[in-house]
Structures are given as C-alpha cells and as structure tokens.
Amino acid sequence: MTGIAEATRIGGSVDAHKGTGEDMPDGRQDSGAMSAMLEVRDLVVSFQGAKKSWNNAVEGVDFSVRQGEILGIVGESSCGKSVTSFSIMRLHNERSTKYQGSITFDGSDIFSLSPKQLRELRGGDIGFIFQNPMSSLNPLMTIGQQLRETVHAHQTSLGKEEVEASCIEALEDAGSDDPKAWMERYPYQLSGGMLQRVVIGIALINHPKLLIADEPTTALDVTIQMQLLKVLRGLRDKRGMSIILITHDMGVVAQMCDRVEVMYLGQIVESAPVDELFAHPRHPYTQGLLAATPPLDGDRPERLSTIPGSVPQLSEVAGSGCRFASRCPFVADECRKSVIDMQSIAERHGARCIRLAEIGEFRKVAS
Amino acid sequence: MTNQENPILQVNSIYKDFISRGLTRKGASVFHALQNVSFELAGKQTYALVGESGSGKSTTGRIICALEKPTTGSIVFEGNNYTDYSPSLLRERIRGNIQMVFQDPFSALNPRKAVGNAIVEALEIQKIGDSRSDRLDMAVDMIERVGLSSKQIDRFPHQFSGGQLQRVNIARALVVRPKILILDESVSALDVSVQAQVLNLLQDLKEEFSLSYLFITHDLSVVRFIADRIGVLRKGELVEEGTVEQIFGNPRTDYTRNLLGSIPLPDPRRHQLMAA
Ligand SMILES: Nc1ncnc2c1ncn2[C@@H]1O[C@H](COP(=O)(O)OP(=O)(O)OP(=O)(O)O)[C@@H](O)[C@H]1O
Ligand SMILES: Nc1ncnc2c1ncn2[C@@H]1O[C@H](COP(=O)(O)OP(=O)(O)O)[C@@H](O)[C@H]1O
Ligand code: SF4
Ligand SMILES: [Mg+2]
Ligand SMILES: [Mg+2]
C-alpha cells in the first residue's frame, strides 16, 4: 500500500470527477478524427476455444494515433497488446477469430478491405516489426533478396537501380553502416541486433505511414536497444511516420512515446500523454507498475513495492466489475457491481476506475 | 567494502576456451569465452555479474556451479579448491552447497512431474531426510516459504504461472540448504510486478538462510536494487569491479558508462534519445 502511495506522491491535485456521460468515453475529447492516422473504436477480438466457445481476448479497446505520433501500448504479458496490434492489420487467422468494433486507417475501414487490399496495406502503408526478428525473415534467402521482394510486392513499376537504391536507403535508415555487404548475407550470418535492423529496414522500405513495433527491442542488449530506439525516433522525426510501440518497459515508454495506453486484461485502463502519465498516474494498476520498477536513482529501497498476485485468466474475472479488482489495494464493494467505464480526468487523460477521488484522498492522507 | 571474514567463494584467474569446428572449412578455431577472470564472493553478500550478451556471464556461472570445468584457473569454496573434484566428490561436497536457478522457469522442470515430487527428488539426490514423508514435510515447508500454498504441491508445471514456477525453482534449489545460490537471469522473464515480488522474496530468503548470491543479469536497475558488489564482463574479461555505489556513481571504463547510459530512464523529462 505504502509503495503505491509513494509512487504517486508526485501526483497532483485530487481533481478526479466521474464521467458525466457527455465526455468521450475515453476522456480524449480533442483527438479529432481529422488528424488521426489510425482510429480504433470499441475493438473486441474473440478467439474460438474448445467446444466452439468464443473467448474475448480484447474488449472494447479504443485509441487513435495521429500523424507523426508515437503511441505506446504498455502492460504485462497476456494483457492483449499483441492481439490488439495484430488486429490492426487483421493478421489473426479469421476462421477462428471474430472482430467487432471498427478500425479506420488513413480513411479506409480495415474490416471491409478485400484480401488483396489487405496484402497491399501490409508492408506497404503499414510496416510491422515483431519481437523475434527471425519470425519475419526467411533463413534461406539473402537479406538483399528479401528486401527486393518486399519492394516488388508493392511497387511494380520500379527499375532495377531504383529498387537497389531504395533497399540501401532503407537499411541505412535502419542504422546499418554497410548496407551493400549486409544485403549479400544470409540471416544466420548476422547478429540479433543486426537482424532487428534488417527487419526495421524491410518494414520501412515502402515508406509506411504507420509502423507497428511489437516489443522490437525486448530480446536485445540494452546498448543495442538504445541504438535502435534512436533509429526509430529519428525515423519519426525525419519522415513524420506514426509509430505504435508495444512494450512492457516503462523506461522505453518514457523515452519514446508521446501518448500511452496502459492495458490490463484486454482493456485499456489508463490513457494519457506521456508526461501526464508519469507525473500523475491515476489508475491503481499504472501506479503499481511504476512503483514496482526498481529505481535508478535516489535511495536504494529495502524492498520494492509490488502488485499483489499475478495477472489472472480473463475467464477467472469474467462478469461485470473491475478487471483489476482481485489485485487492487483500493478495491471496494462498488467496484465489483457494474461495468467500469473510462472516467475522464483531464484533457486527453482517462482512467478506468470509479474510485479515483477516494484514491486521491487516500494519497493525501498517506503523504 | 571491508569484509574481515574469508570469502565463501574465490574465482582465481579462470580461462575458458571453446574449440569450434565446422562452419569454417579452415578447421578448428579457439574461442576465448573467459580470460583471466578473478573475483571473490563474500559470505551473505550479493555479487552481480553484468555485461552484454555473449560476454561470458553464464559461462562463469556454470563453471562455479561445476557444470563445466575451466580451461585453467581454480574455484575455491570455503577454502577447498573443487576445480578438479570427481563427480562423486562434487555431489558430496559442492552440489548441496551451490545451487543454480535459470532464466526460463519452465524448461528447468520436468513437465510430467508434480512440483512437490521435483522438490522431494532434489532432497533424495542430496540424501537429505530419513523418509519420504520427512522429505515431503520439508518440501511443503519450503513451498510455503516461497509464497505458494501447500495445496499446490501436487500440481504440474503447466498449472503455474511463470512467476509461481520461478518460486518453485527457488524452493527446489533452497530445500537442500545451499550456501550459495547462482541466479542466471532468474527474474528477467517475469513481468515487473511479479519480478518485484520475487526480488523481495530473494532478499528475505537471503537473511533467513544466510545465503550468498551470484546474480547474473543484464538489467542494471535490478542490480542496483539487489547487489552489494558488481563485476562487469566484456568479451570474457572482467573490466571493472566495485561496490554498487562505485560502479553506478563513478564508473571507470567507457564500456560500463555506456551500459549504464543505455538503460531507458522511466522519466520522460530526462531525454536520452536526442543525440543521433
Ligand atoms: N558450449 C559452447 N561452445 C562454444 N561456445 C560457447 C559455448 N558456451 C558459450 N559459448 C560462447 O561463449 C561466449 C559467452 O557465452 P555466455 O553464455 O557465457 O554469455 P552470456 O554473457 O551469458 O550472454 P547472454 O547475456 O546472452 O546470456 C559466447 O560467445 C558464446 O557463444
Ligand atoms: N490466437 C489466439 N487464440 C486464442 N487466444 C489467444 C490467441 N492469441 C492470444 N491469445 C490470448 O489473448 C490474450 C492476450 O495475448 P497477447 O495479446 O499475446 O498478450 P501480450 O499483451 O503479452 O502481447 C492472452 O490470454 C493469450 O493467451
Ligand atoms: S475500480 Fe475499484 S478495483 Fe478497479 S481499479 Fe478502481 S479502485 Fe481498484
Ligand atoms: Mg505480446
Ligand atoms: Mg547467459
């Protein structure tokens, strides 16, 4: 308890008020559709389980990404980050997946695209980087062959020299110091950090408007991670590309993102601009995540503050009420009674918790 | 840090060469995985080994755990050089005293064995306990001590979460009452909230059982929390060593400075990514 209170000591005034019903459900009244590159509205993704039952993995996810914006999606494993990011390009196997809600990318409705249009989008206007670089590379083809193939799939009219030039440019943009040499090599001849740069290069080659990066640096050394984060930031600055960055590392979020969506058990539980989120985290889960991260400066604590228990299965907490109730230090009877909606806190800041005011009061007393 | 007592473990100038053949047609080539690595682990202390991937952290841990022999050099536990002990001598004098916990909590356990049996088996190997029920009691005690319930003792690994299973691995290592626990990236795969729970648990157990830890990790924020001393490995060489205060406050090599500077700070006001 004290740990959570401590993490939020810097939190500001107790200004929580319940949503009035007129606010946008997510508390982001000003994210106008005009500037949004991507809009995800009320996304529900369910997978077919045993005995033909359908289980929701993601429920009511709502966010948008503007042009040139880096949006972070953060949360512990199995909270639905990857399911959400795969849905944007409809990468789940559609025989066993049901989507509800809407996803609009650059004006087009993703759920009404034909398979051909989807193929054009993937690797074209939307680039994708996965956690494991080898999952998107062919071990039997040289890096050059794979880059060229991606160009040809989307830009059929280019001449040989133009293709070569854009391959080299993409690798350079991804931080390669010797693109020509890299293109002649096979994946096994490159290190993990180099492979991840190749994957970034392939994702960039057709100048996407949106790059989705799902834990792109989680498997890498901190030193290489830092280089790649600089590459990604630089690309946003240089090309005005939008980026969705999925991570479970609060440090990566703080350094990279403009806005953050915190996910817990298939829902977004807090949404805020990055400065606001770190200065005034309001949802008990966000507060817990920040407090559990060992500090890099100041006193060394004797103990770390923790969130009790671990992420339950969605089926264990099904039914109405707050998904976080089983681990929340502030839980009260009312939390389990009805569906908890996003409550608006400030401009573009919302949290899915009905006790924000009481938690604020508690912090006042505790500090 | 002044430590009057003798160190519990001494690593003296170890070298480890791996001979690789194949890939290149030129024939065998020698890879120097460790070169002249020396350090001491003081009793009831935590020594953290850090460094980039491939720097030799796990190789050092495996040599200390006697899972591998160094090419040259020696390792001394409580005054006894066990570098060249036979397997039976190792079992008798070292295995019960030096235990190891790995990164992936799942791969360390037999999926077809209930976790209670896995813990009982560790006791049998060390010939601890007089009867099966005696050992089962010890297993239950230890399971509870690491924050699990005795009811979970009949469960199989797939019925646990990663964090719970890492607790099982810690219980299995500690049930034989070792003096040294080697933790090789043991909390790296865990979510932060669970990682914090396991780190707190490790701190408690260290007190309770008077343990010394060799903590291998690439996560420097965890090191700052848990370690007393830090050794920095770079391409098989120990390039720097000191207390947490020394390494974090006054790193002497560019390599260490770069490692420290590469940790993304969880504070958006402190920009690290501006320089290209
Ligand atoms: N059995 C082996 N045969 C050949 N080379 C090996 C063997 N074991 C380790 N190496 C090499 O020794 C070096 C050190 O490996 P080690 O596993 O100790 O690294 P590490 O510091 O633990 O890295 P990581 O952070 O990736 O776990 C690496 O270059 C590795 O490829
Ligand atoms: N193809 C699938 N079929 C069924 N369940 C899935 C599938 N993919 C993911 N899930 C489930 O959805 C939840 C969210 O997973 P995921 O998005 O991968 O989490 P993360 O936040 O770690 O990326 C998990 O409970 C996972 O088991
Ligand atoms: S609604 Fe209740 S249980 Fe959920 S986060 Fe808020 S206080 Fe905790
Ligand atoms: Mg994922
Ligand atoms: Mg290792």
pLDDT at A185 over 90: yes
The verdict on B275 touching A (C-beta cutoff 8 Å) is yes
- Which whole-number Å values give the CA distances from A339 to A65, A352, B25, B209, in the listed order? 26, 10, 66, 47
Q: Does residue B259 form part of some domain?
A: no
Q: Does residue B139 form part of some domain?
A: yes
Q: Does residue B136 form part of some domain?
A: yes
Residues 6 or more apart whose Cβ sits within 8 Å of residue B57: B49, B50, B51, B184, B216, B218, B233
Q: Tokens standing for A103?
A: 């996803």
User: Is the C-beta atom of B59 inside 6 A of ligand 1?
Assistant: yes
Asked if A250 and B218 come within 8 Å (Cβ–Cβ), the reply is: no
Of A35 and B91, which is predicted with more confidence? Answer: B91
pLDDT at B29: 84
- Which whole-number Å values give the CA distances from B191 to A189, A327, A348, in the listed order? 32, 15, 28
pLDDT at A21: 34
pLDDT at A24: 39
Q: To test the ligand 2 pocket, which listed residue (A82, A91, A131, A310) has its Cβ within 8 A of the most ligand atoms? A: A82
Q: CA-nearest residue of chain B to A79? A: B191
pLDDT at A360: 78
Bridge partners, B85 (sequence order): none
**Closest C-alpha to ligand 2, atom 11:** A57
The structure tokens 């947490």 sit at B244
Q: Does residue B199 form part of some domain?
A: no
Q: To test the ligand 3 pocket, which listed residue (A18, A353, A363) has its Cβ within 8 A of the most ligand atoms? A: A353
Q: Domain count of chain B?
A: 1
**Which residues in chain B come in under a pLDDT of 70?**
1-5, 21-27, 274-276
Q: Which fold has domain A28-125+209-223+236-319?
A: Rossmann fold (3.40.50)
Fill in the amino acid letter for A186.
Y
Q: CA-nearest residue of chain B to A226? A: B262
Write down the domain spans for chain A.
28-125+209-223+236-319, 135-207
pLDDT at A366: 52
What's this model's pTM, rounded to 2 decimal places? 0.87
Q: What totals of helices (H) and strands (E) does chain B contain, helices first?
A: 9, 10
Contact status, residue A314 vs residue A57, Cβ threshold 8 Å: yes
Ligand 3 centroid–CA A322 distance in Å is: 6
Parent domain of B172: 105-177
Supply the ipTM of this predicted assembly: 0.86
**Closest C-alpha to ligand 3, atom 1:** A353
Q: Does residue B58 form part of some domain?
A: no
Element (H, E) at A3: helix A2-7
